[in-house]
Structure 1
Amino acid sequence: MEILVLIVHVLLAAAIIGLVLLQQGKGAEAGASFGAGASQTVFGSTGNTGFMVKITALVAAILFATSFALAYFAKERAMSVSEVGIPSLQVIESAAERAQELPALEIPRSTSSGAASSDIPTAD
């Protein structure tokens, strides 16, 4: 089911790109007022503007629906992996247990001048 939704999603994305590219810009309507022959179009005297806008809106709505479906599938997959695999809480607890098993670092003792002997310079 997820593969089918993904294929439909990709096809809808390509369709919406094509529909947007096929539409005329706002400046294209200025030529129609000077007798560019807009009354002889296939879609009527208003041209294809209303038709293309409605189809684009429909494709965009379906694209959003497939986006939500893919997000739902991704959430379900993440939930099933966390139940089967190692949950993050167990990883944190095991790291805390291993940290207690590590040997403690020894703090260098101070020298006669009162400063700790180390390779790190100090500001005096």
Structure 2
Amino acid sequence: MELIKTLIWVVNLLSAVTIIVLVLMQHGKGADMGAAFGSGASGSLFGASGSANFLSRTTAIAAVVFFSTSLTLVYLSGGGKTDLGVMGGKVEQVAPQIPVGATTGKASGTTSKIPE
């Protein structure tokens, strides 16, 4: 079981790094405007507009792999527990206990005078 978890961790980390690299390789929406005015930003490895489809689809596939491996790791690490933590347990209401000799908040016989 630990071997499967390790393999899923490796795939998860590789897909995370792939997403980071692919997002950094993509150009923003403002880059097309600069290319229209001749700044030369459109010359890329995939051509003027060919990179958008390839990079966006590859990013989407890597994102699906990342989320599916993350959910699989959560499921496998649960160990079949159905405990919901603090919210899952029963709450018992207990009456507050007052220690012996504690005052009830009422003033007792003597008052202190403030010197003038």
Shorter-chain TM-score bucket reads 0.5 to 0.7
The verdict on how the C-alpha distance between 1:106 and 1:19 changes in structure 2, with shifts beyond 3 A counting, is closer
Give structure 1 regions of 4+ aligned residues with deviation exceeding 6 angstroms: none
Pick the aligned partner of 2:100 from 99, 107, 113. 107
Within a 5 Å distance, the mapping from 1:30-109 to structure 2 comes to 30-35=33-38, 36=40, 38=42, 41-76=44-79, 79=81, 107-108=100-101
CA distance in 1, matches of 2:71, 2:54: 26
TM-score, L = length of structure 2? 0.61
The answer for the alignment partner of 1:119 in structure 2 is none
Which fold has the larger relative contact order, with Cα–Cα distance below 8 Å and residues 6 or more apart in sequence? 2
Task: Give aligned-pair identity as a percent.
Answer: 34
- Whether the 8 Å CA contact 1:41–1:47 is kept in 2: the answer is no
Q: Contact 1:23/1:52 (CA < 8 Å) preserved in 2?
A: yes
State the TM-score, normalizing by the size of structure 1. 0.57
| 8 A contact 1:9–1:67 mirrored in 2 | yes
2:93 maps to: none
Q: How many residues of Structure 1 are paired with residues of Structure 2 in the alignment?
A: 92
Q: Which whole-Å CA distance do the structure 2 matches of 1:72 and 1:109 have between them?
A: 51
How far is 1:108 from its partner?
3.2
